Amino acid sequence: MKQTGVGADAGAEAGKGIAPDGAPDGVTDAATDAKRSVAPGVRLGRLSFVWRPWMVLITLLLTAATFLVFCVSIGVGDFPIGLSRVIATILGRGEQVDEFVIMDLRMPRALAGLVVGVALGVSGAITQSVARNPLASPDILGITWGAGAVAVFLVTVSGGTATAVVSSVGLSAAALAGGLGTGLLVYFLAWRRGIDGFRLILIGISVSAVMQAITTWLLVNADIRDVARAQVWLVGSLDNRSWDEVRVALWCTLVLMVVVAAAAFQFKPMHLGDEVAAGLGVRHSRVRALLLLCAVLLAAVAVSAAGPVAFVALVAPQVAMRLVRHPTPPMVASGLVGALLLIGSDLVARAVLPISLPVGVVTAAIGGPFLVYLLVRANLRQTDR
Amino acid sequence: MSTTAVERPLPEGGTEARRHRGTGLGTLVVILLITGVASLAVGARALSPAEVWHGLFAAPDPDQRLTEIRLIVQTVRVPRAVLAIVAGVALGVGGALIQGFTRNPIADTGLLGVNAGASFAVVTAIAVFGFTNPFQYVWFAFLGAAVAGVVVFGLSSIGRGAGNPLTLALAGQGVTVFLAAMTTAISLSDQKSLNALRFWNSGSVAGVGFDVIWPVTAFIAVGLVLTLTTLPSLNLLNLGDDVARGLGVNIALSRTVGILAITLLAGAATAACGPIAFLGLMVAHVARYLTGPDYRWLVPYAGLLGALVLLISDIVGRLVVRPGELDSGVVVALLGAPFFAGLVWRGKFKSA
């Protein structure tokens, strides 16, 4: 009777959950769904997985949609380029003028959006799965606020003198260091003969709160013009990306995604609880540590490339979960939803809105209501049955 | 900071345990009162206990010096001590309640969207009406906080989800996200709002007079009365919805009253002090560690601890960067978070 697409409802019966520590486990709960248990299995050599046509279909649709929005986004600008010409150019068969505008000018920004969206989405999916808490996102683990505090420090305290020195690349590098440092600090503070999702979150919240307090304090004491600049950075923006920055972010993300993909296979059984997973031959604490490290790195890379774009990491996995009707945040779909959300928001920010706003404002303005819409729809649908 | 007579979790039930918890509660009240008096003496200009006494109770005096002390104590120090206690109680109780009702151990009063709603209303008030004085936008903040809380609760109540904890938390996030975006959009295009917002955001109990404190206290008092009525059913709710229903709890009613109480408490406190992050979350966990899971004890402990932490943070904020001040919201996080993280690391907490 319980419906898959509405993991939202899961927390109500938290007592039935699988989380060993009794933490609310809405992310994992619907695993008991009767319909799923009869889904056919597929075996390929040593690998076996459940064949879920709906999940495959939605993932393919998401891929197509992401590619489409990506191309449309590249086409939009002071010098508009049609969709077919954009696709031709990307495939290497475009005209010279288009080639220059697209590959040299617009591609870095669009790619940055894609990479950052995917990184944040996957990072969110990992943290929410590991912590078994839908509110656990890189924002809560302190990564974004750590990066933010460092960046705001550079913008406000060193202020005028450093403005020239700290070009955007330097700022990104500093933010990367800040995000990574904070993420690792949280990880090591939470380490106590293994990582426990609940302890990780509480420590993350604590460190986040400190970073946030420092940021607030810096902003209170800063010159108002620096505050505006810092604010734009804190919201997250894709303006003025260069190939150099994008290349670094792209390669980092690609490598990390490979690691995540390898580890995710091992992660699956852990939704059944650590004991069951161990029984199935999974070294759960190692897998968990590896995945969390990847999540921290992905979030740090994303933040260094675009600033702490709000709520993509929180919203994307939850949206993906409901779209593919899966009880836990699906990695691939979460990444795609993240990318779609970010590129789409950037497109809206540039093409639709009368005033220019950083992309983070739009991701939040779109992502928030959409999450609410999904919740309400899921609840209403449940009433009908 | 919160060393009470109770050192470790006590066994459930029994008159012995109850007496221990009662003693702990009494100890907390005494510590709170002493801290409150200390808060009157500390500041840019330190006062002796005798001077504080005079400032409080002496009749108007021709002596210029005493009049000045009267002025400092009665119009500056007393209001901020009272506000710290009132708002601290509200945030502590609110934090404990929302963790209980959402059954989410990382839930905070900010979760209902009240902080975001208040910030949005403040920025709007400044951008649209050109307000510059906190006295003018306190009411907007309260209105924004209350409306956001009601909207979040309303959205999460559509359909069969009615008051479902996870739905509530996610709806709160959704609305928070949206309001924060709107707040940023306005503050980025209007420098005056940005300027006011950064001060309001840091959270402080200073600079608010009794003309604001009394009404805020009235709202908080209503919230506390509502809280009292929900505590027994909250204990049952934490046994699971089915068990609670079986024991005769009207789940929807209990949740509605609970959310209303949280909205009043958090909304009023946020309106008067600005968003003070982390306080409710932290004291709820410390209270749970001291009392165990019984909400009839946990909630009063959380309230007193909240007041104590906010009061101490306010005092510390006045001492560390003299003659300037560090906002209490900032101090709460800077002091509380490492302390809290230490307790977490030593494995002192269980999930809600």
In this structure, what CATH number is given to the domain that contains residue B186? 1.10.3470.10
Q: Residue B313's pLDDT is what?
A: 92
* Confidence at A132, pLDDT banded by 50, 70, 90: confident
At position A15, the amino acid (one-letter code) is G
- Two tokens, residue B99: 């963790």
**What's the N-to-C CA distance of chain B in angstroms?**
23
Per the model's pLDDT, the better-predicted residue between A121 and A385 turns out to be A121
At position B179, the amino acid (one-letter code) is L
Task: Tell me the per-residue pLDDT of B193-232, one tens digit each, with 9 for 90 and over.
Answer: 887 777 777 788 887 888 888 888 999 999 999 999 998 8
Q: Which residues of B touch A26 (CB under 8 A)?
A: 166
* Confidence at A169, pLDDT banded by 50, 70, 90: low
Number of domains chain B is built from = 1
CB contact under 8 A, B173 and A135: yes
Nearest CA in chain B to A8: B167
Per the model's pLDDT, the better-predicted residue between A344 and B202 turns out to be A344
Q: How far is B285 from chain A (nearest CA, A)?
A: 10
* Confidence at B1, pLDDT banded by 50, 70, 90: very low
Where residue B54 falls (left for φ over 0; alpha for ψ -120 to 50; beta otherwise) is alpha
Lowest mean pLDDT among A152-161, B70-79, B197-206: A152-161
Q: Residue B22's pLDDT is what?
A: 82
CB of A342 within 8 A of CB of B170?
no
Q: How far is A234 from chain B (nearest CA, A)?
A: 10
Task: Tell me the per-residue pLDDT of A36-94, one tens digit each, with 9 for 90 and over.
Answer: 445 566 777 766 666 777 888 888 999 999 998 888 888 887 777 878 888 888 787 77
* Confidence at A22, pLDDT banded by 50, 70, 90: very low
Record the pTM: 0.75
| Distance (Å, whole) CA B238 – CA B249 | 11
Angle between helices A224-235 and A143-152 (to 10 degrees): 150
DSSP B45: S
Could you tell me the maximum CA-CA distance found in chain B, to the nearest angstrom?
69
Task: Tell me the per-residue pLDDT of A300-341, one tens digit each, with 9 for 90 and over.
Answer: 888 888 887 877 888 899 889 888 887 788 888 999 999 999
Q: How far is B54 from chain A (nearest CA, A)?
A: 35
Per the model's pLDDT, the better-predicted residue between A107 and A267 turns out to be A107
> Across the interface, which of B106, B164, B340 has its CB nearest the CB of A11?
B164
Instruction: State yes or no: pLDDT of A25 exceeds 70.
Output: no
Q: Residue B85's pLDDT is what?
A: 94
Q: Which helix or strand (DSSP H or E) is residue A50 part of?
A: strand A47-50
Radius of gyration of chain A (CA): 21
Task: Tell me the mean pLDDT in the region A18-32.
Answer: 39
Q: How far is B58 from chain A (nearest CA, A)?
A: 38
- Two tokens, residue B24: 């702990």
Range of the domain at B217: 3-350
Task: Tell me the per-residue pLDDT of A346-355, one tens digit each, with 9 for 90 and over.
Answer: 888 888 877 7
CB contact under 8 A, A224 and B195: yes
Per the model's pLDDT, the better-predicted residue between B15 and B272 turns out to be B272
CB contact under 8 A, A213 and B334: yes
* Confidence at A163, pLDDT banded by 50, 70, 90: low
φ and ψ of B348, to 5 deg:
-85, -15
Task: Tell me the per-residue pLDDT of B28-67, one tens digit each, with 9 for 90 and over.
Answer: 899 999 988 888 888 777 777 777 777 777 666 565 566 7
Instruction: State yes or no: pLDDT of A28 exceeds 60.
Output: no
Task: Tell me the per-residue pLDDT of A290-309, one tens digit each, with 9 for 90 and over.
Answer: 888 888 889 888 888 888 78
Q: Residue A18's pLDDT is what?
A: 31
Instruction: State yes or no: pLDDT of B325 exceeds 90.
Output: no
* Confidence at A195, pLDDT banded by 50, 70, 90: low
Q: Is B155 on the interface with A (CB under 8 A)?
A: yes
| Distance (Å, whole) CA B16 – CA B12 | 10
